[in-house]
Structure 1
Amino acid sequence: MSFVAMESKVLAKKIFSKEELFILDVRNEQEFGDWKIEGENIRHLNVPYFELLDGVEEIKDQIPVGKEILVVCAKEGSSVMISEMLSDAGFEVSYLKGGMKAWSEHMEPVKVGDLNSGGELYQFVRLGKGCLSYMVISNGEAAVIDATRMTDIFTDFANEKGVVIKHAFDTHLHADHISGGREIAEKNGAAYWLPPKDAEEVVFEYKALQEGQDVSIGNIMINIHALYSPGHTIGSTSLVIDETYLMTGDILFIDSIGRPDLAGLAQDWVSDLRDTLYNRYRELSEELIVLPAHFMITEELNDDGSVAKKLGTLFAENHGLNIESDEEFRKLVTENLPPQPNSYQKIRETNMGKITPEEEKQREMEIGPNRCAVR
């Protein structure tokens, strides 16, 4: 038999199309338990590679015959070794090129829709990390919202579309991943926007993203309306685009709500979070399509791979938007929190411009799942 490399972009397409896939994950149990590749029709078997050094005989009957098999490890090396063993044992297998390290960085562009006043909106889905970034395109110009540190993905996409990036926005100071917004702005001579209440400690210049502002993209006035919506961070700011889309940052997700504790001020910010979700958002049109900065589980993906749902639907279905008691809400968002994101303090300092870690260190800081939501 044989074994070949599978690239992250191929794996992403399989997850989007809900194909069946059997994954043998050869990382240690703790790494697998903390973070794994997820999808609607994915099955897993976790056996650390060091338990297979003498061969794969003991797991042969746990691996399905006639199913597509993918071997996964942290950086690729161990999965190549185990794939070769499985191939010698008669299985046709693939290994994930670059391992979970590559999977964490892959982003898949998905077209969300055409804008009413001309132009297009794209969502960049980072399946391995649960991050969502955006690009608004109109008449030769573009704006990028909540970009990740893999800035080439956005600049290359803009080049393919023949547009110039004029603006880069961060809806808040991110704590679970390193922002690429400032780098994109510097590379493209664009403006970098950040809510000033989240920028009190930053050491670089920025444009203040504040409620009531309009920013046009292209000659066909596409307006991005800033809507101050504190709670996840004190400066968290939502954007209403083309009177159709509501970019909620990490305040509101499809199946959950944002956690208010990543600056150590959960008790102080709970009221802000509730006011945003239960009052400020209630004043908006329920027809607005919510586009968050993260997703938690692959079940939140639509059939086309996008993560989006009408605000009115979330008011009806999202538990975090349907808690009548202030006390119960406070308890939910202060007692049902997942572990803090890996290296979140260092990530915040990086996003403030206080430190500039080497690229490999940045990768290490981001490894692991998205943890921006209340469970």
Structure 2
Amino acid sequence: MGIQKMTSKEVTKMILNNEELVILDVRNEADFNDWKIEGNNVESINIPYFDLLDDISPALDKIPDGKNVLVVCAKEGSSIFVAEQIAEAGRSNISYLEGGMKSWSEYLEPVKVSDLSGGGELYQFVRIGKGCLSYIVLSNGEAAIIDTSRMIEQYEQFMQEKGVKLIHAIDTHLHADHISGGRAVAQKYGAAYHLPPKDATEVTFEYEKLEEGNDIYVGNETIKVKPIYTPGHTIGSTSFMIDNKYLLTGDILFIDSVGRPDLAGLAEDWVGDLRDTLYSRYKELSEELVVLPAHFGKVTELGVGGLVAGRLGTLYNENPGLNIHDEREFRKTVTENLPPQPNSYQEIRQTNMGKMNPSEHEQREMEIGPNRCAVHDK
């Protein structure tokens, strides 16, 4: 019996299509509990590789017969060995994940959000293995990328297919959970790199100041910089309006939660800003705006085709973080009810400031694991 190879793209498509999939994850228990492949129709089984080296029967006992089984490990090698053992025992429909969880962490799935009124298009790039969301605005042969992941070749391929030239790379804030590709892609194409100045006090490079009133133009489209200056997750966190329909909220507001204010060590200082942004500044906006965040916490937040989006008015009704009306309770929630901080977040912040220049391998290791930008991912 042979085994098949599955790419991260193929697995993503299965998850977005709600197809049934059984995953045998052979990493150690701690890594599995920290971060794994999830989906509405995904069943995950964890048996560490070393428990299967001499005897494959524990896996045969646990995985259901007749279903698609995907064997997953950190880098690929262990999963190939285990998949082959299972196939040799007579099981069919056995695959392994090409590149392992490292590959899963880095795949971006482009999802079209909408056509824009000026003739342009807006796309969301779903980094399903990490929970990061980035965006591309296309118009009249030009492009802008917002909250670029470090895997810039995937955006490059997309822009090449669309026949557009990069004009702007924009970060809504100084990221702490993943390494931004904004500066790298801007340098490569001679584009402008935009960053909120209040988040850039320690950066080692030149940048364009992202400030309210300095709207950004892409072909026939306008990205309205409304920082709506929305501090809270970081002191410079900035929001955008696109086409008067879409509100890009960065890490301030998610679909099921709100941004955590502690990743620069200033939770107590910034919690008031966060509350003011969520309960006052956004309240002044149209309830019909579609919120497009920079992260999602759970696969249940993925909508049709994988799009992560929600109407602002609906979020005010349903998002727990927007319904803590007592100020002291809100302060307690966003400073005490926090998941662990993202892996290597201090080093990631230093890298995004230009103070560290880790190798490709080091960057990959720094990013392994889930994003933890929300207050409560329950």
TM over 0.5: yes
CA distance in 1, matches of 2:196, 2:57: 57
**Alpha-carbon distance, 1:224 to partner:** 2.7
Q: Do residues 87 (structure 1) and 91 (structure 2) align?
A: no
Q: Do residues 337 (structure 1) and 338 (structure 2) align?
A: yes
- For the Cα contact (< 8 Å) 2:225–2:238, is it kept in 1? no
- Summarize the alignment of residues 227-306 of structure 1 with structure 2, pairs less than 5 Å apart: 227-306=228-307
Report Cα offsets for 1:283-342 as digits up to 9, x if no partner. Answer: 111111100000000000002111011111101100100111000000100111111100
- For the Cα contact (< 8 Å) 2:221–2:243, is it kept in 1? no
The one-letter amino acid paired with 2:64 is: P
Matched with 2:320 is 319
- For the Cα contact (< 8 Å) 2:35–2:370, is it kept in 1? yes
- For the Cα contact (< 8 Å) 2:239–2:249, is it kept in 1? yes
Report Cα offsets for 1:326-361 as digits up to 9, x if no partner. Answer: 000001001111111000000000000001000000
Q: Tell me which stretches of 4 or more aligned residues in structure 1 moved more than 6 Å.
A: none
**Alpha-carbon distance, 1:155 to partner:** 1.4
**Alpha-carbon distance, 1:57 to partner:** 1.5
CA distance in 1, matches of 2:224, 2:132: 21
CA distance in 2, matches of 1:313, 1:258: 18
- For the Cα contact (< 8 Å) 1:2–1:91, is it kept in 2? no
- For the Cα contact (< 8 Å) 1:55–1:85, is it kept in 2? no
Matched with 2:72 is 72
Report Cα offsets for 1:173-229 as digits up to 9, x if no partner. Answer: 0000000000111111100000000000000000000112211110x2433333210
The one-letter amino acid paired with 2:296 is: F
**Alpha-carbon distance, 1:74 to partner:** 0.3
| Aligned-residue CA RMSD (Å) | 0.8
How many residues end up aligned between the 2 structures? Answer: 374
- For the Cα contact (< 8 Å) 1:138–1:222, is it kept in 2? no
**Alpha-carbon distance, 1:59 to partner:** 2.9
The one-letter amino acid paired with 2:98 is: K
**Alpha-carbon distance, 1:236 to partner:** 0.2
SS at match of 1:304: helix
Matched with 1:154 is 155
Matched with 2:46 is 46
Normalising by structure 2, we get a TM-score of 0.98
SS at match of 1:149: coil
Matched with 1:19 is 19
SS at match of 1:340: coil
Identity in percent: 66
**Unmatched 5+ residue regions in structure 2?**
none
CA distance in 2, matches of 1:125, 1:59: 32
The one-letter amino acid paired with 1:162 is: G
Matched with 2:124 is 123
CA distance in 2, matches of 1:338, 1:38: 18
The one-letter amino acid paired with 1:208 is: K
Q: Do residues 203 (structure 1) and 204 (structure 2) align?
A: yes
| CA shift in 2, pair 1:263/1:223, >3 Å | closer
Deviates more, 1:225-234 or 1:160-169: 225-234
- For the Cα contact (< 8 Å) 2:120–2:221, is it kept in 1? no
Report Cα offsets for 1:67-124 as digits up to 9, x if no partner. Answer: 1000000000000000010000111200000000000000000001101221100000
